[in-house]
Amino acid sequence: MTTTLIANLSRYVPELIAVVTMIGALFLEAAVGKFDKAKDYIFSAAGIGLILCLISLSKNMSLSATPIFTGAVIIDPFSTMVKIIMVLGVLGSLYVAFVSKDIAENHKSEFVILAMGVLVGGMLLASANNFLTVYLGIETLSILSYVLAALKRNDGKSTEAGIKYALYGGITSGVMLFGMAHLYGILGTIHFSEVLESLSTLDQTKMLILLPSFVLVFVGLGYKIACVPFHMWSPDVYEGSPIPVTTFFAIVPKIAGIAVIVRITHIFFDKSGVLQDSWVGFLQVVAILTITLGNILAIGQKSVKRMLAYSSISHAGFMLIGVLVIDQIGISAICFYGVIYLFMTLGAFGITSFLGDQFNSDRFGIFDGLIKSHPFMSIAMIIIMFSLGGIPPFGGFIAKYNILSASLHKGFYTLAIIAALNSVISLYYYLRIVQSMVFKDATYEENIKGFTFINQLVMLGICFPILFLGFFWEKIMITATNAHLLVK
């Protein structure tokens, strides 16, 4: 018994490191919180913890898939890949938090603690192998996110974002639980590994209850990735939260939610039949609505944060297309999309954060005439915007191309056409930022304090993968193709 526990724990090292980092940051805050340099210590401790986490994750990458803790959690290459994306996302948003002025200095250590907690929840969700771990993962992710959204505790908008997030989150997780209860009643088990065998012995009347229950479960998961029609919270929460928190929300919960939707779809709807057809049809409708509505609503926005929120909704729709092909090429396309999406989101929010601190605003006007005063950062932002819109030489194009080729491979022609048309619509609002930087005159004279040498270097480091992966994408694609999912 003890030996199996130790063997199980040896596979669980990345999560343990994340937990220890979180608790360590908590104690460090309690011990040295009053000192001047406390912030530096806590951020560097968290950074070291995350890098250790990355190293142990990259070691796990080559291991074969194993269920651990009596099948409650599964460690397979796909979940490890998703965890690597999430850890990188936390690392990036910690950097944005470190330099941003949007969070008060004495609240920054709280950001570290809560972000590490959300990361632990996301990692649990990415490798969840029964309904209980899915539920616990989602709640760990959500409950800490509510606090993160309300981190500017004396700001009316931030507390309102917290309220909206908490209410939407509570309702959707309740509905999801109701669906899970009925699934448990029908299937007689909460373990994903035992589901297939009970699915094959179901009679027709029980099948009828199965699909509505899955739709109820999808409410909770779809809320986490903010797909239409559960997207209403997303722009409000993104606008109200401080920018580092918004960066964090755009990456970690979204990627974790996509991972669990991939797993559920591949486990329950692997066999072709009525069940698979109706689920794929449902996901198709959701994906089309998500991409189209996200893009159309983004057009009229005046706030850059809201625009990026709607754009992240439409990116979630693209990732859903990768889910509904129910194939390994879909999974590898999602992994690749996740990597590119991570860098694009970090870059876009990072530059918006530096400018937002200077002008205390998140309007499009903050970009006016930037190319004359700060050409390097403007070119970085132009690269990121072109990549988000899916213009060929950049990484975003390859990511969208992979998703569309996966869907064409399986014969979803209408879906691919609608997605490609939407990519054109999205260019309109991404290029508004480029137009504002290049063709408008600056309304200010002063130098932007956020663009220090180190910050520019970091932004260059974020832009480099977007450019690099646009040309040399085979390497990461091979890694993504190896990210198999264990389906029993």
Query: At CA 367, angle to CA 309 and CA 85, rounded to 5?
Result: 40
Nearer to another protein, 158 or 455 (CB): 158
In the complex with another protein, the residue whose CB is nearer, 147 or 346, is 147
CB of 173 to another protein, least distance (A): 8
**Which strand (E) or helix (H) includes residue 103?**
none
Residue from 230, 185, 212, 181 nearest 275 by CA: 212
CB of 348 to another protein, least distance (A): 20
Nearer to another protein, 156 or 457 (CB): 156
Give the dihedral sign, CA 417/420/424/430.
positive
In the complex, the smallest distance separating the C-beta of residue 186 from another protein, rounded to whole angstroms, is 9
Torsion 453-454-459-461 (CA) sign: positive
CA distance 156 to 342: 29
Question: Judged by CB, which is closer to another protein: 88, or 180?
Answer: 180
CB of 235 to another protein, least distance (A): 7
Query: Cα–Cα distance between 243 and 127 in angstroms, integer?
Result: 28
**Nearest distance, CB of residue 143 and another protein, angstroms:** 5
DSSP string, 303-362: BHHHHHHHHHHHHHHHHHHHHHT-SHHHHHHHHHHHHHHHHHHHHHHHHHHHHHHHHT--
CB nearer another protein, residue 184 or residue 468: 184
Comparing CB distances to another protein, the nearer of 83 and 306 is 306
Q: Which residues bind to another protein, rule: CB under 8 A? A: 131-132, 135-136, 139, 142-143, 146-147, 150, 153-157, 159-164, 166-167, 170-171, 173-175, 177-178, 180-182, 184-185, 188-191, 235-237, 239-240, 297, 300-302, 306
- For residues 89 and 121, which CB has a smaller minimum distance to another protein in the complex? 121
> What is the distance between the alpha carbons of residues 319 and 287, in angstroms, rounded to a whole number?
8
- Smaller CB distance to another protein: residue 76 or 362? 362
Whole-number minimum distance, CB 482 to another protein, in Å? 33
The residue among 177 and 438 lying less far from another protein, judged by its C-beta, is 177
Contact partners, residue 51, CB within 8 Å, separation at least 6: 91
Sequence-ordered alpha helix ranges (H) in 361-409: 370-373, 375-389, 395-409
Round to whole Å and give the CA distance between 322 and 304. 27
Q: Rounded to the nearest whole angstrom, what is the least distance from the CB of residue 422 to another protein in the complex? A: 19
Distance between first and last Cα of the chain: 24
Rounded to the nearest whole angstrom, what is the least distance from the CB of residue 33 to another protein in the complex? 20
Cβ of residue 38: shortest distance to another protein, in angstroms?
A: 24
Query: Pairing state of beta strands 66-68 and 73-75?
Result: antiparallel
Residues contacting 276, CB < 8 A, separation 6+: 269, 270, 326
